[in-house]
Amino acid sequence: MIDKISEEPAKKVLTYDHGGNENGFLIELFKDGDKTDVYLTAASPGAFKGYHLHRVRAARYMCVKGTMLITLYRQTQDGGQTKWVREEHALDASEPRRLFIPKDVATGLENTGDEEAWLINYPDPPYDPSLKDEQVEYTLEELERGVVK
């Protein structure tokens, strides 16, 4: 056996949309202790994942297979009322680009192609499972009504 070579299982989790339908999976690619430094999100053709907002972590996305539409909502104040402003970014594995998303931005991922799409995320800071309220789930309706959780 060669010294310092190691092999370990990688956690794979099936993911589901708000209606309980399977829409892909997530695999932890690189971990440092309990924290996940890098993971892969896979979305089935036509599947949508989201919306979710991270209170602590920024996201750094790169599409490495297929095509993904990343829909973002950021909060603004309009006459004392909270309003969400929408922005979209198309990512295509055939034209690699990195997308940085700061914390406190609600994010949705949609596979816009005919094959499974893969998105690599390098969260900053790494995902920490001990932060229980760090990720907040939203529906499109909540974002359109200006709901803040």
pLDDT for position 19? 87
- Model pLDDT for residues 39-88, shown as the tens digit of each residue: 999 999 999 999 999 999 999 999 999 999 999 999 998 888 889 999 99
Output 105 or 132, whichever has higher pLDDT. Answer: 105
Per-residue buried b or exposed e for 61-70, using 16+ beta carbons within 10 Å of the residue's own CB = bbbebbbbbb
135-137, strands of its sheet edge to edge: 81-92, 67-78, 105-111, 48-54, 135-137
Ordered structural domains, the chain, with CATH: 12-145 (2.60.120.10)
User: What's this model's pTM, rounded to 2 decimal places?
Assistant: 0.91
